[in-house]
Structure 1
């Protein structure tokens, strides 16, 4: 990426946003990041914080006009499929309508200034829902199976629409990607945090929903790097960001238990129907060929290494608290 770019980033306080700040600040860019009204201002002087709300589209337009960014990374939105079933309207507003406001404001800025404004949208494999083919590619039909997927599908489609208007707009179709920075509301971090407590003798069992769901899990910093490469590419486009390999929730739990030294892990694992989703896709696997060929991108960590890094982090937290 060219030096000294002015960046507008939403979702800076989330997993992906925090890694993106690490990467962009290390490259010397000027980062303006969105924070909601009333939220505690993060103690991070690498970022210029801007107050705005994804549910208030005019505030988003105002921020784009004030910052006049060279690149917009939209990583914010509802991050939980389960939550989207509880709050479908809020999900569509925050993860769909907000995207429309941001990219329209960016396009108007481009027209007004006569210079390119690049836009990278964090999309999701959930846009494919019950996919008709495996692995999924950029041409797989979009057919979401949840309110979360539907909202993401809107944002994803807008990238193509604005590319046709002359924007450098990219959609990062992100498959599941994890790290120690995931909150425990996500099943992967729930697993590693609970396994660490079990290994320390603080808990006895781990309760999960569908153990047979298979997902394509990658390393979050790798996926953030893919989005930076999209912004730096000659033209915008849609890219599946995935590893091409799947593992089940049971596999993830087993790998976490073994890394923590809990050998009788199958006796510690329990199924709780409360954690099952209304409509859970059995398997999602992405084909990252286009990202590899056009962006020079590829994953750096294997599945076991990702699980291991998360478990070691949570074991350290347990030891520090004892």
Structure 2
């Protein structure tokens, strides 16, 4: 029975990846920070087969202890402070967790598996935010990185550190450069979930409008449940490498609003959406679109859920959830 350790187990990717690995017969361990973590029960209820171990990406000794407890064949580093807007408010903490945390975990794996580095395969969750001020369209593995947020900068550090450990120590360490991926499990601070929740509440008469920032920003949005399959496939390859994971399509916030409102029978939404400069980024990333050709060819991976299907899935989930909450 293969064993895996997942950091960031409480996030949407951690939950979907846990379900995938459990379905494949893995023994899955999830790293969680603190015994009183408010999401402890969420993990227990969603993926009861996962064994939780305590640890902190900023504390290498705790990571070594977690590795010794889990004895993993595969380590998936999904843990990060991942809300881009928050990274400007807390650039130092974002750098410590999202950037230096990768180094801490890589070094912990190296020390843990010092006698045979091939016994542990490592996955790093890199991000399309690393491309930032994009230097070519679409973005691929060789595209120059030009991050435009403290979060993006921290992800670049972790990305190159993963490459460095692969090249310096021969570690089987791969990075997935994942473009935006969403689901009903996405946090409500992210724009897709903010929209799906607000649209649900507006349709039920529980909310009057939604306030957003730049409606013209474009993203390559996919389904998180599809993307964790690509993570797993990377660690099944004979040789470690880096892969862009994306749909190859781009859609604007306006298109997101079109699909979401249409799902609840509202065709004209302009009067329901307000814009506020507070939700504008200090340095905007205007157009992200990935080229997933390498993942298609080498991993045999392709996304299964399209943009409209994804948005409708999220809206349907939030309509049901908000209706149930309104009854309580």
For the superposition of Structure 1 and Structure 2, which TM-score range results when normalised by the shorter chain? over 0.9
- State the secondary structure of the residue aligned to 2:113: helix
What are the within-5 Å matches in structure 2 for residues 262-301 of structure 1? 262-301=266-305
How far apart in 2 are the matches of 1:138 and 1:72?
22
Q: Is the 8 A contact 1:61 1:101 kept in 2?
A: no
Q: Is the 8 A contact 2:57 2:104 kept in 1?
A: no
**Counterpart check, 1:17 vs 2:11:** no
How far apart in 1 are the matches of 2:116 and 2:286?
47
Residue 15 of structure 1: CA displacement? 0.5
Q: Which of residues 134, 139, 146 is equivalent to 1:136?
A: 139
- State the secondary structure of the residue aligned to 1:284: coil
Deviates more, 1:212-221 or 1:261-270: 261-270
RMSD: 1.3
Q: Deviations 1:143-200 (Å, cap 9, x if unpaired)?
A: 2111100110111111211111211111000100000001111111000000011111
Kindly tell me: are residues 115 and 172 of structure 1, through their superposed partners in 2, closer, same or farther at Cα, counting changes over 3 Å?
A: closer
Q: Is the 8 A contact 2:118 2:171 kept in 1?
A: no
How far apart in 2 are the matches of 1:141 and 1:114?
30
Structure 2 regions of 5+ residues with no counterpart?
A: none
What are the within-5 Å matches in structure 2 for residues 1-322 of structure 1? 4-37=1-34, 38-40=36-38, 41-42=40-41, 43=44, 44-113=47-116, 115-164=118-167, 165-321=169-325, 322=327
How far apart in 1 are the matches of 2:290 and 2:190?
20
Residue 115 of structure 1: CA displacement? 4.1
How far apart in 2 are the matches of 1:203 and 1:39?
30
Structure 1 regions of 5+ residues with no counterpart?
A: none
Q: Is the 8 A contact 1:242 1:285 kept in 2?
A: yes
Deviates more, 1:261-270 or 1:215-224: 261-270
Kindly tell me: are residues 117 and 73 of structure 1, through their superposed partners in 2, closer, same or farther at Cα, counting changes over 3 Å?
A: same
- State the secondary structure of the residue aligned to 1:19: helix
TM-score by length of 2: 0.94
Regions of 4+ moved over 6 Å: none
- State the secondary structure of the residue aligned to 1:204: coil
Residues paired across the two proteins, number: 319
Residue 108 of structure 1: CA displacement? 2.8
Q: Deviations 1:111-139 (Å, cap 9, x if unpaired)?
A: 32464210001110011110110100000
Deviates more, 1:263-272 or 1:60-69: 60-69
Residue 60 of structure 1: CA displacement? 1.4
- State the secondary structure of the residue aligned to 1:189: helix
TM-score by length of 1: 0.96
How far apart in 2 are the matches of 1:198 and 1:264?
13
How far apart in 1 are the matches of 2:105 and 2:115?
15
Q: Is the 8 A contact 1:64 1:102 kept in 2?
A: no
How far apart in 1 are the matches of 2:70 and 2:174?
20
How far apart in 2 are the matches of 1:270 and 1:262?
16
